[in-house]
Amino acid sequence: MRLPRNCRKRCCRRSKNAARESSSALLASNFSGDGVEIGAIPSHTTAMSTAYDIICIGAGPTGLATAIEAKIDGLRPLVIDKGCLCNSLFHYPVNMTFFTTPERMEIGALPMTVAAGKPTRAEALKYYRRAVEHFGIEVHQYERVERITGHEGAFIVHTVNAHGPQQYHCKKIVVATGFYDHPNFLDVRGENLPHVSHYFTEAHPYWNQDVVVVGGGNSAAECALDLFRAGAHVTIIHRGAEMGRTLKYWVKPDIENRIRAGEIRALFHSHVVAFEPGKVVVQNGRSEESVPASQVFVLTGYHPDFAFLEKLGIRLATTNRKPAIDPETLESNVPGIYLAGVVIGGDDTSHIFIENGRFHGRQIIAAITGKGKLPDKEPVAPPGE
C-alpha cells in the first residue's frame, strides 16, 4: 500500500531528523569527556563531518601512508597540512631525481611507475596525488594546526584556514610533520638578507652569477653541480676537510672532479662569519676572506618542529632532542598521540626517510586496532644504497 505523497514527505522529514539526533548523540558519546570543552560545530558542516577516528598532521608520504593504512582497516582518517599535498617534495629542486627506486617510495601497496630507474620529483608528486585519489583520503591543504586540546579518545584539533578557525574531533592523533620547513640556521649576521636562501630550486636564474653554496652534504654537492652546469661561478664553503663521506656514489666523483679541476672552487676548514650584500665573509684558519656572492644557498640540513612537539606535551631528550615514544607502537608519552617519520629522530635526521618512514603508519595502525607487533621487515638502507 502506497502512502499519500504528503505522508511520505512527513515520514521522510521525521526519519532525517531522527538520524540527525542519533548522529549528534553519537558524537557527544564518542568525543566528550571530563575536562574537555567541546567547541561549537561550524554551521556549514554536519556534526559527523568533524568527527574522525584518527587525524594525521602532515600530508607528506608518511602521513598519507598512515591515513591509507587507517582507511584500509576501517577507520575514518583526516590529513591536515599547512601547505599543499607533499609540501616538502613540492619545494625540492625542480629537476630533482630521487636517490632511490620507485618500489621503495610506494604507499598502500599501490605501484609507482616511472620512465627511468629512479623517480623524478614530478613523478613522485603525481604518484602521491593519485594515491590520495585512489584511496579516497580526505586531505585539508593550507590549514595550520594551532593547538590540540582534550585527551585520548576525545581530542579537539584547532586549526586555521582561509575561512578562519576550525575544529575537528578525533580519538587518535599522528604527527608526521617532517623536518624540511625548519632549516638549521648558522645564526650569523646577514642570514636574513634576501639573497641568502636555505632552499635551492633551480639553477637557470644564476647563469654567469657568483654563487656561494654553504655545506658539504648531498644537497650542497648537487646544488653546486647544477649551478656549475648552468654557467654559474660556484664556490663551496664547508667546515670539514672534504665533502661529506655520505655522498651518493654517482655524486661523489662528479663533485670531487669538478673541485680538482678548478671548475668549482671549494673552501674547506672554513666557516661563514657574516653575509653582506654581494659577498660572504669567511674565516679560514686565522684569516678572513670576502667571497663574491650575488646569491647564497645555505644547505646545512633541517630539523623537526621541536616547539610544536613540546607544545603538545611531548618530552624531548636533552642530548639529541629525540621525543619520548614507545618503539613498538610509536605512541608518545602523551596517550593517544603517535609520531611517524623523521620527527622521531630528533636531531638525527639522517636515518629516517620516505623509504622506511612509510612503514610507521602500518605500525601505528596495528597498535591502535589491537593487531600487536608486526613482523620485522628487512632493514632499509639510506636512499641509493
The most confident of the ranges 33-37, 43-47, 98-102 is 98-102
Instruction: Please provide the DSSP assignment of 185-239 as one string.
Output: ----BTTTSTTEES----SGGGTT-EEEEE--SHHHHHHHHHHHHTT-EEEEE-S
The letter for the amino acid at 70 is A
Q: Which residue has the higher pLDDT, 277 or 353?
A: 277
173's grid cell: 592523533
225's grid cell: 653541480
Residue-level pLDDT at 338: 98
214's grid cell: 654553504
Distances (CA, A) of 346 to 82, 103, 177, 245: 21, 27, 12, 21
Q: State mean pLDDT over 175-193.
A: 97
Q: State mean pLDDT over 6-26.
A: 42
Q: pLDDT grade, residue 163 (50/70/90)?
A: very high
**Is the separation of the CB atoms in 21 and 139 below 8 Å?**
no
pLDDT above 70: residue 44? no
Q: State mean pLDDT over 88-117.
A: 94
**Dihedral of alpha carbons 2, 4, 9, 14, sign:** negative
Q: pLDDT grade, residue 99 (50/70/90)?
A: confident
pLDDT above 60: residue 66? yes
Q: pLDDT grade, residue 377 (50/70/90)?
A: low
Residue-level pLDDT at 350: 80
Q: pLDDT grade, residue 19 (50/70/90)?
A: very low
Q: Which residue has the higher pLDDT, 374 or 122?
A: 122
Q: State mean pLDDT over 186-192.
A: 97
List, for residues 108-126, the tens digit of each pLDDT value.
999 999 999 999 999 999 9
List, for residues 314-347, the tens digit of each pLDDT value.
999 999 999 999 999 999 999 999 999 999 999 9
**Is the separation of the CB atoms in 36 and 149 below 8 Å?**
yes
316's grid cell: 624531548
**Residue 334 exposure: Cα atoms within 13 Å on the Cβ side:** 24
**Residue 195 exposure: Cα atoms within 13 Å on the Cβ side:** 19
Number of Cβ within a 10 Å radius of residue 209:
17
What residue ranges define each of the domains in the chain, with the CATH number in brackets?
30-182+303-368 (3.50.50.60), 196-298 (3.50.50.60)
Contact residues for 107 (Cβ-Cβ < 8 A; gap 6+): 61, 64, 65, 68, 128, 131, 358
Residue-level pLDDT at 146: 97
